[in-house]
Structure 1
Amino acid sequence: MDITVEEQPTALVAVVRERVAMDALAAFYDRAYRAVVQEVAAAGLAVTGPAFGWYRDMTPDSVDLAAGFWVDADDVGPLGGGVEVVELPGGPAAVGMHVGRYEGLPGAWDELRTWMSDNPADMRGDFLEVYVTDPSEVADPDLNETRLVLPIVP
């Protein structure tokens, strides 16, 4: 995997955020994405970017996770149904692209963490998985593209 340091823009995103048990991630993502799409449309906004998961405060059993989409909102705030528009902070990040099944993501993250240990930088403490391809539109799961974004302290 090629890894580069890229400047990420600050953006407004619509998300559902919860502490999620590791064995409940798939169900959370399904529920969160449906709710975000519904509430964004109800608010007269539009989705402007791919689905993502924003991970914070991970433990072996659970994670503080926000799942949603980039949107064309003008300000932060609640939309309803547990969905809110929040600011996704920008800044430098180590970025790599995983191509393949979601089951391969832990190995891809290991590769990114190894790169980080070889390139001195402090992690901000959160990370993102940006689901570049929509799994429902990709016939072969080996072709899924997931952008791994590991923010670093400038």
Structure 2
Amino acid sequence: MNTTPTLATMDEQVTASIHLVIPRTEMQEEMDPAIVELYSTLGTQGIEPKGPLFSFHHRMPTETFDFEIGVPIDGALQETGRVKVSKLPACRVVRTVYHGPYEGLGDAWQEFMTAVDEASYEFGSTFWERYVVGPAETQDPSQFQTELNRVLC
């Protein structure tokens, strides 16, 4: 179930992230180890995330996903392995929040895009998810909250 879409203005955010270009079929097996690597690197350097985990997609998916998995940070990150300093852009977005398990994200995106298509927005090619409430906060997947963001032109 999605909330009613709203407009929001995002400030640029410095992030620590891992860039992945992976086949659609390998999302789960690639994403989980990347998340572990990201948090391990931050922990080793004593850096606390300044917001929830996100996945920032550089383009609409085809047979592959091209995205960064990351978190906002304040401190100076020593780039290590695949963990790099990046940024979420300053931009205007249309946003909704999906409530439910990650397996429902595909349907949530479809519902979101149907709702915003009716409003005739013009979108850029990027979009992202922020995992506001997830497994670290609750073991009940029906309580997960994922923010869905589409960048406006």
Instruction: Measure the CA separation in 2 of the matches of 1:112 and 1:134.
Output: 20
- Post-superposition offset of 1:57: 2.6
The aligned amino acid for 1:50 is: P
The 8 Å contact of residues 100 and 145 in structure 1, kept in 2 or not, is answered as: yes
Task: Compute the TM-score of the two structures, normalised by the length of structure 1.
Answer: 0.89
- Post-superposition offset of 1:67: 0.4
- The ranges of structure 1 where at least 4 consecutive aligned residues each deviate by more than 6 angstroms after the TM superposition are none
Question: Is the counterpart of residue 27 in structure 1 residue 10 in structure 2?
Answer: no
Residues 20 and 58 of structure 1, relative CA distance in 2, 3 Å threshold: farther
- Post-superposition offset of 1:56: 2.0
Corresponding residue for residue 8 of structure 2: 6
**Deviation string for 1:95-149 (max 9, x for gaps)?**
0000011121111111221122112222111111111113143122111110001
Instruction: Measure the CA separation in 1 of the matches of 2:141 and 2:116.
Output: 28
| Structure 2 unaligned spans of 5+ | none
**Secondary structure of residue in 1 paired with 2:133:** coil
Q: Aligned residue pairs: how many?
A: 151
Corresponding residue for residue 90 of structure 1: 90
**Deviation string for 1:20-52 (max 9, x for gaps)?**
111111122211111111222333422111111
| Structure 1 unaligned spans of 5+ | none
Corresponding residue for residue 70 of structure 2: 68
Corresponding residue for residue 46 of structure 1: 48
